[in-house]
Amino acid sequence: MRTTLKRRIGRWEQVTGNGRAASALPARSKIRRYEQPRANGRVLRGIGRFLLNLAFFVAIVAGGTAGGLYLWANEKIGETAAHTKDTKISEKHLDVVVPNQPVIALVVGYDRRRGAVGDRGRTDTVMLVRLDPRKGMQSISLLSFPRDLSVPLYCDPNSPFGTGKINAAFSQCGLTGAVLTVKALTGLPINYDVAVNFRGFKDIVNKMGGVWIDVDRRYYNPPGTGWATINLQPGYQRLRGQQALDYARYRHGDSDLFRIVRQQAFIRSFRQQFSKLSLTDYPSIINTIASNVETGNKGGGSIPATTLLGYAQLIHGLSGGSVVQVKLGNVTNASDGSSDLVASPTTIANAVDQFTSPDLTVDGLAAAQNKVGHATSPADAAPAPEKTTVLVLNAGDTEGMAASTSTGLALRGYKTVLPTGGVAANYPGKRLWHTIVYYDPAQAKAKAAAEKLLTFFDAGTVRTMVPSVAALANGATVVAAVGQTFDGTLPAIKPKIEVPTVQAPRVTTNPGLTSASVRGYQPRFRFRLEVPSKVASYSFVPSDSPPRVYRIAAKQTALRLTFKLPGYLTAYWSIEETAFTDAPILGETHVTQVRGGRTFDYYYQSGLLHMVVLRENGATYWVTNTLDNFLSNETMIAIARGLRPTSGPVR
């Protein structure tokens, strides 16, 4: 990364979405060649001693600096520990973190009126965040609750004090109320609680230099309307603190359910931005977080720096497909005419299942179904459980472990068998500390099946089946020799997430909808603009979001085309055209396909196509779905493939 970044100049200098030869040698009769005299042994030894001393000095300075940085970071992290009475009380109701197992945090975003004595504040955000560090299952899951969701409210773990909006739990009983209410609603353990006020939110975003957000449409509420003020134009742009808060809090004109989608989109974008920070950015970020975030955990005190570092490294290394956003389905309005929202126990249970057992293969399956990609990981390449035959052998000291593990695998869809000849299911060798999963190389995809099965165990290896194990295999594709470190706990049974059904694209051939505007803007661009020859059926250009040319980045101009579907509040989809080819959003995990000499990138979210990007002419052309991915995968692909270059002069 260029050093000019430190001064906010160079390629990452951004604006908001609303902005505007050596001399020749003299002639000589003869050129003399000079040679460095050969160094004698004494000189070489002197140079060696100097370099050794220099290296030793650098090591001391570097070590002292690293140690000082570690102590400083520890001190700052300590400032995030619970210090208010409210958070300290809530810690009593949190659950202990189990090493190398998933952790769940409750994040509460709140606002407190100035000067209001005793006012705990109001929550706009009640969200669970789950981080899974286990090999093969590394992921982040997000589950948000509408603040108007009607639920039993708790101040005491033994009984609710009534029923009401979920955000009332915080206003009535503080962070303790929020923790107890969410635990009772979901049945999940909560390891951390995190409270962030609106001022802290803005400060953190500003210290990040803003967060890139793809604003789907025009958002405008002027002062004095009774609604929160907001003024955002459509387009991909860097939102500063107040703008980001306005976007995340907005719900006038749609609903609290879509506010949740915006909040989750913000978190996804925040993670993208965080991954681009340099080491020199961390001190100011840590300072700001320490001043604005309060975190509770079982036993009190601050979270160890090494633990936080592990979480940060995991988050930094995750692909976009490992960030799973779960939303409540089938949420309805209360029948009593109030503003409350209602979700059935089944709806809550399904959301919890998806949250705790995210399906990390659905994007690959959807891409394969759309014929734009194929399996990209061992988990994707492995045969389905129902097509995998497994024999479990006990290689540890726990009696009955093979039988119970075999039963657990059967419940998760695997075909389990007993050893050949009905003998005891014991490993034919020395006891194992870690599990070994053997595979039969003669069977198709057996190694991939073994690699997938290994993710069910804490630690282990995959090996080709040896004769002594093969003699017991009874035709099994894989044999799991369960070692001493496995405690019998298998991953939760995953809810089956269906890949979207293939359907004919719902598009209309209508290049005239935007061709005149696009042609008119062509002289302002250095690259060739493109016109959508196909648009989603019934789409129109909304009056509040006409075609827009704006400065997306330093020396970079973009064209934004916004479309809307009738009869649907938030059905805004768009096309963005820009030479800003290294925008953070384009760095997310995607599937690339070259078709007819044109390169397309496909960005999936839980099996749904959120964005298709065409790369040509030195530019990118983004077809972006609605906030809730309303357009089908096939419709998105048809629109992107229908982009056609316009005519006219290029600047």
> Based on the number of CB atoms within 10 Å of its own CB, is 602 exposed (0-12), middle (13-18) or buried (19 or more)?
buried
Which residue in the block uniquely carries the two structure tokens 């299952």? Answer: 137
Query: Quick one: average pLDDT of 190-213?
Result: 85
- Please tell me the distance from the alpha carbon of residue 43 to that of residue 116, in angstroms, as a whole number: 77
Q: How many CB atoms lie within 10 A of CB 148?
A: 22
For residue 201, name the pLDDT band (cuts at 50, 70, 90).
confident
For tokens 């490992």, the residue is: 322
Quote the CA–CA distance of 228 and 230 in Å, as a whole number: 6
Q: How far is residue 495's CA from residue 363's CA, in Å, rounded to a whole number? A: 15
Q: Which residue has the higher pLDDT, 87 or 604?
A: 604
Local structure of residue 118 (DSSP, 8 states): T
Burial 553-576 (b: 16+ CB within 10 A, else e): beebbbbbbbbbbeeeebbbbbbb
Between vectors from CA 170 to CA 166 and to CA 175, what angle results, nearest 5°? 125
Residues 460-499: tens digit of each pLDDT: 899 999 999 999 999 999 999 999 999 888 877 665 567 8
For residue 162, pLDDT beyond 60: yes
Query: What separation in angstroms does the CA of 171 have from each of 88, 113, 144, 154?
Result: 17, 12, 18, 12
Q: Give me the pLDDT at residue 469, please.
A: 95
| DSSP per-residue letters across 325-357 | EE---S-EE-TTSSS-EE--HHHHHHHHHHHHS
Name the residue among 617, 603, 635, 450 with its Cα closest to residue 539.
635
Task: Tell me the pTM.
Answer: 0.72
CATH topology classification for 85-356: Aminopeptidase (3.40.630)
Residue 534 region by backbone torsions, left for phi larger than 0, else alpha for psi between -120 and 50, else beta:
beta
Higher-pLDDT residue of 171, 642: 642
- Widest Cα–Cα separation across the chain: 105
Half-sphere exposure of 155 (CA within 13 A, CB side): 10
Question: Does the structure show a pLDDT above 70 at 370?
Answer: yes
User: Rounded distance, CA 58 to CA 51, Å?
Assistant: 10
**How far is the CA of 250 from the CAs of 304, 326, 536, 547, in angstroms?**
36, 20, 26, 23
Q: What is the pLDDT of residue 465?
A: 95
Out of 179-193, 230-244, 368-382, least confident range: 368-382
Percentage of the chain lying above the pLDDT 90 cut: 41
Q: What span, in angstroms and rounded, lies between the C-alpha atoms of 360 and 565?
A: 31
Tell me, rounded to whole angstroms, the distance of Cα 48 from its chain centroid.
50
For the segment 567-593, the average pLDDT, to the nearest whole number, is 90
Rg (CA), the chain: 29
In the DSSP assignment, the letter for residue 218 is: -
How many whole angstroms separate alpha carbon 580 and alpha carbon 619? 7
d(CA 521, CA 515): 10
| 334 has a pLDDT exceeding 90 | no
**pLDDT band at residue 83 under the 50/70/90 scheme:** low
pLDDT of residue 525: 95
CB 435 within 8 A of CB 480: yes
- Dist. CA 375–CA 549, nearest whole Å: 39
Q: pLDDT (tens digit, 9 = 90+) per residue, 379-415?
A: 556 888 888 999 999 999 998 999 999 999 999 889 9
Name the CA dihedral angle for 333, 335, 339, 344, rounded to a multiple of 10 degrees: -50
pLDDT in tens, 540-559: 999 999 999 999 998 899 99
Q: Are 462 and 453 in contact (CB under 8 A)?
A: no
Give yes or no for a contact between 553 and 237, defined as CB atoms under 8 angstroms apart. Answer: no
Query: What is the per-residue pLDDT for 290?
Result: 64
Backbone angles phi, psi at 123, to 5 degrees: -100, 130
Higher-confidence residue: 549 or 31?
Answer: 549
- Degrees to nearest 5, angle at CA 308 with 105 and 131: 40
Position 466, amino acid? V
Contact between 237 and 215 under an 8 Å Cβ cutoff? The reply is yes
Q: What pLDDT sits at residue 87?
A: 79
- Average pLDDT, integer, range 189-197: 87
Contact partners, residue 461, CB within 8 Å, separation at least 6: 434, 435, 436, 437, 454
Mean pLDDT of the chain: 81
